[in-house]
């Protein structure tokens, strides 16, 4: 890793613009989403990330701000039919989402069915068009390092903009080692989003220094309050 990056001072403003402020719990209600959107606007977060059924509500709440609306597709398993993922993504964009975080078909990747895994991403990429940001969640906790590299390369080949570590709903979240490996693999061609278990400033800053440019977390406000 670049030594200069590893020692970089990260300001609260830089941290805020890296955060995708997230609520993906199944029992989230409209009040939770209003708070999420208001916090994102107040703190200058990059995006809010919600389940696709909440995109229109959050988009309306954020109208007039520069906070992006992000949603998850094929969440949290990634085991849906490609056309189902594509349809969900297309509807989300129609409802106001500008960023889509889709879950990789992990089983296809592990089985060596790489063309299937790539086609799955391509379906979503084609559905949302080039104007929307596409992040591919590779669920690092389920993969070997070799498979993580394969997943990153497939995402790049299929036209993704980011690779993302985790859903936060499996057996593990983001690690510094995984972020470094993913950044090393994609270089400057894609960006890296670290997500899963990031709840304090020290951890979030470490992810940025390791090569991530986005942090997916439900603890965005607490992270900023924890700034040194």
DSSP letters spanning 148-217 = HHHHHHHHHHTT-SEEE---SSSS----HHHHHHHHHHHTTTSEEEEESS--SHHHHHHHHHHT-SEEEE
In whole angstroms, give the CA distance from residue 97 to residue 87: 13
Q: Kindly report, residue by residue over 197-220, the tens digit of the pLDDT.
A: 999 999 999 999 999 999 999 999
By the 10 Å C-beta count (0-12 exposed, 13-18 middle, 19+ buried), 12 is classed as middle
pLDDT at 5: 61
pLDDT tens-digit profile of 138-194? 999 999 999 999 999 999 999 999 999 999 999 999 999 999 999 999 999 999 999
Structure pTM?
A: 0.96
Q: Which domain holds residue 36?
A: 3-225
CB 138 within 8 A of CB 148: yes
- Does the annotation mark 193 as catalytic? yes
Residues of 103-117 as b/e, b for ≥16 C-beta within 10 angstroms? bbbbebbeeeeeeeb
- Of 85, 148, 183, 193, catalytic: 193
pLDDT recorded at residue 172: 95
pLDDT at 9: 87
**pLDDT tens, 29-69?**
999 999 999 999 999 999 999 999 999 999 999 999 999 99
pLDDT exceeds cutoff 90 at 8: no
> How many independent structural domains does the chain possess?
1
**CATH code of residue 103:** 3.20.20.70
Provide the percentage of residues in the chain whose pLDDT is more than 90.
Answer: 96
C-alpha–C-alpha distance, residues 201 and 224, integer Å: 7
**pLDDT band for position 3 (50/70/90)?**
low
Of the residues 161, 164, 178, 183, only one is catalytic, namely 164
Specify whether 178 is catalytic: no
> Where does the pLDDT of residue 137 fall: very low under 50, low under 70, confident under 90, or very high at 90 and above?
very high
Is there a catalytic annotation at residue 188?
no
Separation between Cα atoms, residue 213 and residue 228, nearest integer Å? 20
pLDDT band at 4 (very low <50, low <70, confident <90, very high): low
* From 20, 85, 101, 135, the catalytic residue: 101
Q: What is the arithmetic mean of pLDDT over 13-23?
A: 98
């Amino acid at each position: 890793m670049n030594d200069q990056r590893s020692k970089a001072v990260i300001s609260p403003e830089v941290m805020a613009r890296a955060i995708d402020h997230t609520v993906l719990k199944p029992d989230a209600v409209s009040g939770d989403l209003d708070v999420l959107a208001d916090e994102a606007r107040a703190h200058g977060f990059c995006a809010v990330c919600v389940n696709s059924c909440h995109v229109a509500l959050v988009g309306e709440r954020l109208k007039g701000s520069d906070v992006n609306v992000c949603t998850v597709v094929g969440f949290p398993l990634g085991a849906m039919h490609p056309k189902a993922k594509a349809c969900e993504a297309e509807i989300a964009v129609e409802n106001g989402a500008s960023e889509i975080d889709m879950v990789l078909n992990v089983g296809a990747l592990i089985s060596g069915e790489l063309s299937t895994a790539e086609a799955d991403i391509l379906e979503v990429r084609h559905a949302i068009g080039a104007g929307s940001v596409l992040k591919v969640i590779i669920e690092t906790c389920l993969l070997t390092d070799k498979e993580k590299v394969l997943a990153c390369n497939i995402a790049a080949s299929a036209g993704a903009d980011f690779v993302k570590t985790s859903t936060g709903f499996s057996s593990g979240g983001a690690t510094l080692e995984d972020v470094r490996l993913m950044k090393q693999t994609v270089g400057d061609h894609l960006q890296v989003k670290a997500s899963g278990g990031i709840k304090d400033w020290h951890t979030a800053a470490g992810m940025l220094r390791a090569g991530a440019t986005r942090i997916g977390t439900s603890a965005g406000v607490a992270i900023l309050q924890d700034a040194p």
